[in-house]
Amino acid sequence: MKIKFIFILSLTTTLCVAQQTVNIIPQPVSIQQQSGNFILTGNTAIQYNPQQKGLKKVAKFFNLQLKNTTGFVLPVNTSLPATIQLSIEKLATIGDEGYNMDITSKAVTIKANTTAGIVYGIQSLLQTLPAIRTNAKLEIPCMSITDYPRFKYRGMHLDVSRHFFGPELIKEYIDLIASYKMNVFHWHLVDDQGWRIEIKKYPKLTSVGAWRVDQTDKIWGSRPQAKPDEKPTYGGYYTQEQIKEIIAYAAQRNVTIIPEIELPGHVASAIASYPQLCCKQQQQFPLTGGNYTGMSSNYCAGNDSAFNFLENVLTEVIDLFPSQYIHIGGDEVDKNPWKKCNRCQARIKKEGLKNEEELQSYFIKRIEKFVNSKHKKIIGWDEILEGGLAPEATVMSWRGENGGIEAAKQSHDVIMTPGKPVYFDHYQAGPEGEPIAIGGMNTLKNVYDYEPVPKELNAEEAKHVLGAQANLWTEFITTAEHVEYMILPRMPALAEVVWSPKENRNWNSFNERLQNHFKAYGEKGLHYCPGNFTVNIRPFSQNGKLFVNLSTEILNGEVYYTTDGTEPTLTSNKYSAPVEINSTGLLKASTMQNGRIMGVQAARQSFAMHKGIGKNVIYANPVSRYYMADGSNSLTDGVRGTGTVGKFWHGFSGKDLIATIDLEEAKNIQSLALGCLQNYNDWIFLPQSVKFETSVNGTDFEEVQTVNNLISINEKNAKFDFKTSFPAKTVKFIRVTAKNNICPPGHNGEGKPGWIFADEIIVD
C-alpha cells in the first residue's frame, strides 16, 4: 500500500435538481443552503490578520491540503476578487472548537474563537471539494454553517504494541482522525508484546523489549511460548525525535496525543528488559505474541526500584508529550504473583492495606501523585476503580458502562469506550468474507446508535462524561490496509455521535452522506468496509407466538428469506412484515441491493419449538449481566444460539448453571436437552456434565439422567446438545444442572474457572 503523508478527506458534491448536496460528516449543528456556488480557482486568495496568533500556521496547513487535492497553492493576503477569509473573533455559543462559515458566490468567511475552530471550519470546507485532482470547476455550494461539538473529548485509540506500525501510518491515522473533527489520538505504546517508545535512561526497553520472536504466520491465540534459544526479530519502536515530529504533525491538525504507558500489569516487555522489576526477579523467555504462560507481566508493588524506574520513564514521557493527560493503563492485573511475593505482602502490611486490590490502588495512587507533581493528570481503564480510585483520576470505561457510571457518581471525569459498540477490533460485517477479527460484532449502525451518556446518570453526574473513544487493538491486525479497513467507516459514525447534537443525528441521512465518502476512500486508495450485508434476525414473542423481525443496515437494501433452510434467491419470500415461527427449523435471510443478493453467506437462525416455550426460568446462580441474551427466559424462547459469542447465549462465569422451569401445568414429556457452546479462546467450555431432573410439585426432584461431556476441552469451537430420552412421564417442573469446567493446562487461564454458555432447554 502506498502510505500518504498528507491526507485530505474531501468529497465531490452531487448535483440535485436545485442545488448541490452537502455531504459533511459529522453533521453540523446548523446548515442553511442558498442558491449559487463559490468557484475555487488558483486566483482565490486566503486572507487573515497577521496579528492574530496562529492563523499563519493555519493558512499554511490549508494550502498544504489544497495543493494535495487541487494542485495549486492559493496566494495569501493578496487583493483578489474571490477570497477565503479566516478570522478570530469573540463569538457567543460556539465555544473553543466551534466555527461559523458563510459561503457566497464571491467569498468564503470562516470565523471562530480559536484556531481550533478555524481548522474545523476548513475541514468542513475541504469535504465539499473533489477527493482527487480534476479539471472540472471546483464549485462549493453557497451556505451558512454554525457548528460546534457536543463533547470535548472525541478520541481514537491505536495499539502499536501487538504490531508495530511506522510513523507514516501514524500520520495517516491522525489525518483521518482530524478530517472528521476528532481531537484525541490515544497511542497505546506499551504492552506485554512490545515496548514502542525510546526511553534514553533505559535503552534495553527498545533493544530488548521492542522485539519478539516472529510468529506472524500463526493466528494470535494459537502462538506458542517462545523457546529460550529463539531470536527475536519482529518489532520496532519510535525514537523520541520521531515522536516529537508526530506530535507537531498532530497539533497542526488540532489533535492531542495521549500516550499510554501500561502499569502495573501488561509489562512483560519491560520485565524482559529489566527482570529485577518483577516479583520473581528472573530472566524472561523471549517475547512473542499469544502465549505468555509462566512469564512475569507485573511490576513488583513491594519493590521501590520499580517505582523509581517508572518515575524515570514517566519523566521522559511527560517531557515529550504536551498532553494534559498520561494514560497509565491499570487493567487486567494478575494479582497472583503479589499474593506469593514477600515484598508485596510486606508492603500490604506496612501501608495497612486489606488485600491485593488495595495494593493495586496504592500503586495507582502513588503513580498519580508523581504525575500530578509534574502538573499532569492520569487516565486509566476502569479497573483502577478496584480498591479505591485515585483522587484526580479520569476513568476510561471499557468493560461496559458500569465503571464509567460508578466513577461519574463519585464525581470523576469519564470517557466512555465500552467494548460494545466501540471496540473496532470486532467484526463489523460477516464474519464470513471479512478479514479476521478478534470476535464479537460491532456494526456501523451499532456505532452510530451509541449514546455516550448512560441513562443511569442525572444531569449533574452526566457532566463528568467528557466524551467517547473507539479502540483498535491489533492482535489480528498486522498491516496498514487492515487498520484502515477496521476504522472506515465506523470512525465517521462515532465522529458524528460525539460531535453532532443528538437531535441532529439521522441514520438515513448519515448513510446517504456516507456514499460520497466511500467514493473518496476508493479514489484515495483507502481500504474500507462497504457495509454489513448480513441480515439482522431479531426474534420476539407476542400473544404466546414466536415471530422474527428481519432488517438490513444497507441503504435501499431489501431482505429475502426462506424458512426451510434453503439459500435465499430473488424468487424467495420478500420480507415485508414479521414472520411467524410455528415449527422447528432453520430460517435464512439475505440482503438484496441493486438487483443482486449481497454478502458471502445468508444469515441463519435455528428455532426449536417445544413444550417449554415461553415458560419462566428460575436460576440458583445469576446469569452474567454481560451475557443476558434476550432476557431472563432466554432458555425457553425457542431461539438457538449462533456461532457468535453472546448472541442468544446465557453466560455463567465460574459457577454451575442451575435452572428450574415451571411448565405451569402437568405435561407428558419423553426427552430433555440443553444446548451449550465451547469457544476455547474466550474461556467458554462445555460443562463437565449436565444433570436432568423432574418434579411434580417443585420440591421433590427425581434425577432422570446425568449426561457427561465427551468432547475434548481442547476443542477450539463446538456446539453440543446434552440430551436424554426416557419413557414418557408426567411432570410440571424441570431442573437442569450444568457443572462448570476450569481452563485446561496450556490455556492462558489455566486452573481458573471458565464460562458456561447455554442457549435453550428443549422439552419434548
Q: Is 413 a catalytic residue?
A: no
Burial label for 707, CB within 10 Å (0-12, 13-18, 19+), is buried
Four-CA torsion 74, 77, 82, 87, nearest 10 degrees = 110
C-alpha span between 208 and 612 (Å, rounded): 60
Q: Which of 97, 147, 175, 191 is catalytic?
A: 191
Query: Cell digits for 406?
Result: 460508578
Kindly give the pairing relationship between strand 558-562 and strand 585-593.
antiparallel
Listing DSSP states for 702-726 in one string gives: EEEEEEEP-S-TT-SEEEEEEEEEE
State whether the Cα torsion 574-576-580-581 is positive or negative.
positive
State whether the Cα torsion 517-519-522-524 is positive or negative.
negative
Q: Is 266 a catalytic residue?
A: yes
Q: Which of 304, 319, 332, 702 is catalytic?
A: 332
Continuous segment of H or E residues that includes residue 546: strand 545-551
Q: Where are the alpha helices (DSSP H) in 438-584?
A: 444-448, 459-462, 480-487, 490-499, 507-524
SS3 assignment for 105-165: CCEEEEEECCHHHHHHHHHHHHCCCCCCCCCCCEEEEEEEEEECCCCCEEEEEEECCCCCC
**Residue 389, CA distances (Å) to 365, 379, 382 in order:** 8, 11, 9
Q: Which of 625, 630, 627, 632 lies closest to 640, judged by CA?
A: 630
Q: How far apart are the first and last CA of the chain?
A: 57
- In contact, 484 and 528? CB cutoff 8 Å: yes
Paired strand residues for 573 = 561
Q: Which of 185, 186, 190, 184 lies closest to 164, judged by CA?
A: 190
C-alpha span between 646 and 627 (Å, rounded): 6
**Residue 638, CA distances (Å) to 629, 633, 659, 661 in order:** 12, 10, 16, 14
- In contact, 675 and 719? CB cutoff 8 Å: yes
C-alpha span between 523 and 360 (Å, rounded): 50
Biggest CA pair distance of the chain: 97
Burial label for 609, CB within 10 Å (0-12, 13-18, 19+), is middle
Q: How many CA atoms lie within 13 A of 736 on its CB side?
A: 29
Q: How many CA atoms lie within 13 A of 523 on its CB side?
A: 19
- Which amino acid, 179? S
Q: Which of 266, 426, 464, 610 is catalytic?
A: 266
Q: Is 610 a catalytic residue?
A: no
Q: Which of 737, 525, 522 lies closest to 1, judged by CA?
A: 525
Per-residue buried b or exposed e for 167-205, using 16+ beta carbons within 10 Å of the residue's own CB: bebbbbbbbbbbbbbbbbbbbbbbbbbbbbbbbeebeeb
Listing DSSP states for 74-106 in one string gives: --BS---SSEEEEEE---SSSTTT-EEEEE-SS
Q: Which of 678, 597, 596 lies closest to 588, judged by CA?
A: 597
By annotation, the residues acting in catalysis are: 191, 266, 332
